[in-house]
Structure 1
């Protein structure tokens, strides 16, 4: 629309590889509380926090990298982006009884309204979108 502008709010945090994933979840939960989601969309909050855990864990464990976690809310979608130093793009893998792990992106795919990954200078970014209560989106 001509003459309209997008209002957004965002937060960013760097999580060194030796940082506990709980620190990422706690940080994200604080921002979700500020948005009022813990009251209005608690199931979506749980889905967001699990997604944050999975994406930061992937950066630390599979990319062997620090993670840059960015949350941005544009009054329609909460975007969770995690940047790491690996150029390998993630893809959901079929579950296996032969190996532990490997289900993180399947979880993200099931929880998020949408997600994608893209190469960036010095690595990649994986972004998941959750439509929030202000958009009349679903409560996971």
Structure 2
């Protein structure tokens, strides 16, 4: 096998605005179970599910858009990407006791090993990367 090739597995699902974040979490949970994360990395799995919920909610509430959720596992990192139709890139805001909301990207920033938002031709993609505990140790 060519050492430079990358082996990956991925899943994708479109979540219309009438689909709640619970449907996204349930779908993602089933795929994470196929990776064995329910037993080997339960805290990371919880962090991924909360991030899925936040990113899908942001697509529905702020972009007024269908959320296109993609999970891709490359053996070292689980990439959680949500595409939506709004070109405005998200930024974490400091939580405030004076307003509701505004904590989604702050949570993503705290939970993910890294994240990025990038413009796409018809909106944007927000990707959060998660290393399970063993992969994080191996990367050191």
- Following the alignment from structure 1 to structure 2, what is the Cα–Cα distance between the partners of residues 65 and 12? 16
Structural RMSD (CA): 1.4
Aligned length: 137
- Following the alignment from structure 1 to structure 2, what is the Cα–Cα distance between the partners of residues 5 and 134? 22
Q: Is the 8 A contact 1:21 1:56 kept in 2?
A: yes
Which residue of 2 is the match for residue 72 of structure 1?
Answer: 72
- Following the alignment from structure 2 to structure 1, what is the Cα–Cα distance between the partners of residues 58 and 13? 16
TM-score of the aligned structures, taking structure 2 as reference length: 0.94
TM-score of the aligned structures, taking structure 1 as reference length: 0.94
Secondary structure of 1:100's aligned partner: coil
Aligned pairs for 1:57-136 within 5 A: 57-136=57-136
- Following the alignment from structure 1 to structure 2, what is the Cα–Cα distance between the partners of residues 45 and 92? 22
Secondary structure of 2:33's aligned partner: helix
* 1:94-118 deviation digits (Å, cap 9, x = unpaired): 1111110100000000000000000
Runs ≥4 residues deviating over 6 A: none
* 1:30-87 deviation digits (Å, cap 9, x = unpaired): 0000000001000000000000000000000010000000000000000000000000
Unaligned runs of 5+ in 2: none
